[in-house]
Structure 1
Amino acid sequence: MVEYKSDMDTLFRALSDPARRHILMALSEGPATVGQLAAPLDMSFAGASKHVHVLVEARLVEKRKIGRTQVCRLNAAPMRDLRNWLDQYSRFWSDRLDALESAVKDYENDRH
């Protein structure tokens, strides 16, 4: 079987872990070092570094080394693609809910 890994797959994989979502929320407040990201998660530097690596692969985080310190910054641009993809389903459900609302109104009008 041929293994195909799209950007969307990588993005969903990165977002699937609560620790990585926590890291993204922390970075939404500004740049932070890997050590700073690890502290509130009660996680080792190595553990946090592995999570950051997954986020870097998904292009959600940009990492820059300053001396011995790795500074991370959020890159929210890939989430735009995810939002666009999800918006397709939002329209789908909106259309379905509009149809349901119309059917309920028709039913209520027929009862009166």
Structure 2
Amino acid sequence: MPPFLLFTTLYNYNRLSDVKAAANVFVDDILSTATQYNADVEIAIVSYNSTATTTQIFTSNSTTLKSKINQITASDGTNIQAGIKTAQSLLDAETAENEELFED
């Protein structure tokens, strides 16, 4: 199963706690479903404001993911383009790593 990216924008300070709560539920739901179906799933976290940051590289460790989610802070800007580019770079690197596993 392909990895998941948790992709958030935190432009509204009042919604930060809701975003964090939803992200934590997302992590629990995805990883518990993966366990149920014996699937290998990893999640990465990209947050963005005026710039994008890889908050967490791909992992299936729910404690690490939730800790990183809860450390995210809000600031000005919503540069979604930077967020998408950062997320795409993470996916490209993950795809290249998986392709190497299947080469002769």
Give the TM-score normalised by the residue count of structure 2.
0.26
Structure richer in helix, relative to its length: 1
Structure with larger RCO (C-alpha < 8 A, sep 6+)? 2
Whichever of the two has the greater Rg, that structure is 1
Give the TM-score normalised by the residue count of structure 1.
0.25
